[in-house]
A and B are shown apart, each in its own frame.
Chain A
Amino acid sequence: MGEPVDKDTNKYVKEVASEKYKYGFTTDIHTEIIEKGLNEQTIRTISQKKGEPEWLLQFRLDAFRHWLTMEQPSWGHLKLPDIDYQGISYYADPTAKKKGNESKEIDPELIKTFDKLGIPLEERLALSGTAVDAVMDSVSVKTTQKDILAEKGIIFCSFGEAVKNHPELVRKYLGSVVPPKDNYFAALNSAVFSDGSFVYIPKNTRCPMELSTYFRINARMTGQFERTLIVCDEGAYVSYLEGCTAPMRDENQLHAAIVEIVVMDNAEVKYSTVQNWFPGDENGQGGVLNLVTKRGHLRGVNSKLSWTQVETGSAITWKYPSCVLSGDGSQAEFYSVALTNHYQQADTGTKMIHLGKNTRSTIISKGISAGKSQNSYRGLVRVSPNADGARNYSSCDSLLLGSECGAHTFPYMDVKNNSAVVEHEATTSKISEDQLFYCNQRGISTEEAVGLIVNGYAKDVINKLPMEFAVEAQKLLAVNLEGSVG
């Protein structure tokens, strides 16, 4: 079979590819950025700027001192560029006012930025049915719908605010799921973290709307160190969504986050991510390094946690949203679509640690690789000796577009209980030229056809997302694959 010759298609594809990352704009705003570099003084400065209590400063310093003794891990199936930890700034505040301007109003530029991203921050325009915490660089710009939630006793605010207003809750749960010494990037985050969201759902309360945090990186040469903590008390329910974008920059930007989730007896948390950080250009220049530790602790009996992630952005994605199933009868789910194109690399998956009896976990992972990208699923299923009747079902599929990309699967199983049932299935498939041509012949363009096939492949995961996010995610998958076939 000869090579396809279609110059017009290539031209079209290039045009689309060059404009495809529509969130790549920058906001020109006065931003207070602390000096580059990382030392104890940096940490004291961050803590002071945030007006933190002494115990939290100590928490940070302990983490930092431990981090200094650690080495950056290299076991991922990734080529991580050297990160110059002294070459970036650890705190950038776009809400800081210039001297002489003490007004309490949010800068209209910030409002405009989030408007452009489809996140209206003015209460009267706020998306109905969703409360939003909007974080730019190191600071939460605004959290909407707080009052309505407060009536039910629900706390939804920036992490910084939670430290000020609910220190006892923060102190009780911070680091209880992801200890500061957990891993290299977790230690770094614990030392320098800035804003993220804090959620507390009181007992027997069903959160009446979706909660969501939107993360935006704007400032140049800064790192973003998100910290999110969700506590869902007995019998409570919450669905939480997270979205992310960043401007197109030539250099890599670092996003090293920690998300901790605590789920009590009979409580349920749904956590969904649509990650669309700038993936770098088609030559692999720039892009966000997304190095994240996400973990949920199913403490209570019959507690439920489900992670759903659609990962389309970032130059490098390295994360394993995990579940520790301590409560008897607890149930955990992980649904993932990870798409890589051009020179993107992803090493992602989950860990399901079964400790309680009759615990169940489900893993559905769909990898999509295009261009020259590398896409790995890595997952651990561990069943402890006490976890009688534990069950896991894992299904890991890979879809390849083109012949220059790679898909890899690294499943680990560690089963110490004879009554456990652990199943694993894996498939690899490829979009063939014949499939695309068949679509073409029926009047469907190649771009459209790739979108159709990829969305068909990913639908089991997409269907788990809240409706509005699902539509968004479907579009993202199609857009991020434009230019991958031609």
Chain B
Amino acid sequence: MLEIKNLHASVGGKEILKGVDLTINDGEIHALMGTNGAGKSTLSNVIVGHPSYEVTEGSITFNGQDLLAMKPEERSHAGIFLSFQQPIEIPGVSMTNFLRTAVNERRKFLGLEPLKSTDFLKQMREKRKLVELDSKLVNRSVNEGFSGGEKKRNEIFQMAMLEPTFCILDETDSGLDVDALRIVAEGFNKLKTEKTSAIIITHYQRLLDYIRPDKVHVLLDGRIVRTGNADLAKEIEDKGFDWIKDESEKR
């Protein structure tokens, strides 16, 4: 369970999050919508511990642990995964080597022996198929020479390898064509277990047609101003955000 209380955070001295409260129980999928600059990516970056973001007030606990006291890699080991809006390229480091290190670091944290090479490669093959990622890509350097869509698929592939319990999909749908969107979303659904919870950040309804959210939140100017069920996303698709903005200002 992830519990965010009165979270304030700033970047470069500018306050972006101005008191966010959000509780996500095991197995729940929450969609997070909002205008550009509302703080959606800031929230996801704060959850995973990006060093450029400073938390000035509030708390985040994950399964009872004080998340803010943990290093980014410790949060990863605890089961938190971010599908990056803009995946990073790392020249010279092969996908295989990168993932082997990541998987084994996590196993070390769990007190397990490193995975045998043959088992690891077998796992790579299986998981790769889930997102229909070309085998050539895993021999390349991390994200180097990947198209926009391949990068997004590669994020879900990594998620498959690391088996997180809490996922953040930060605009994973942007830049994907209809087919790729379906593959990525179906991949995610296959990986999801009863315990997996997630925040899906998106501007569009279409991803939520595949991954049905239990709740939809609207983030505006650093605060969650409205929470509803899946219908809220449809309403936003039709009417935009202005009506929510107006309502929240009246209050």
- Residues on A lying within 8 angstroms of B by beta carbon are 1-2, 4-6, 8-9, 429, 432-435, 437-446, 448, 452-453, 456-457, 459
Contacts and interface: CB of A to CB of B under 8 A. Distances in A.
Contact of A442 (B49, B92, B158): B158
- The A interface is mostly helix, strand or loop, or mixed, namely helix
A6 B12 CA distance: 16
A455 to B, nearest CB: 8
Contact of A445 (B49, B87, B98, B105): B105
A444 B105 contact: yes
Contacts of B139: none
Contacts of B105: 443-445, 448
Contact of B54 (A2, A438, A452, A457): A2
B30 to A, nearest CB: 20
Contacts of A440: 49, 71-73, 76
Contacts of B99: 442
Interface in B8-62: 11-13, 48-54
B91 A441 contact: no
B90 interface: yes
B112 interface: no
Interface of B: 11-13, 48-54, 71-73, 76-77, 81-82, 84, 87-94, 97-99, 101-102, 105-106, 109, 141-142, 158, 162
Contacts of A443: 73, 76-77, 102, 105-106, 109, 162
A440 B81 CA distance: 11
Nearest to A454: B92
A448 B81 CA distance: 19
A2 B12 contact: yes
B106 A456 contact: no
Nearest to B86: A434
A441 B85 CA distance: 13
Contacts of B76: 440-443
B84 A438 contact: yes
A1 B11 contact: yes
Nearest to B99: A442
A1 B98 contact: no
**8 nearest CB pairs, A to B:** A456-B92, A4-B51, A440-B72, A443-B76, A456-B93, A438-B88, A442-B102, A1-B52
Contacts of A429: 91
26 contacts: A1-B11, A2-B52, A5-B51, A9-B71, A429-B91, A433-B51, A437-B72, A437-B88, A438-B84, A438-B87, A438-B90, A440-B49, A440-B71, A440-B73, A441-B48, A442-B76, A443-B77, A443-B109, A443-B162, A444-B102, A444-B105, A452-B93, A452-B97, A452-B98, A453-B93, A456-B91
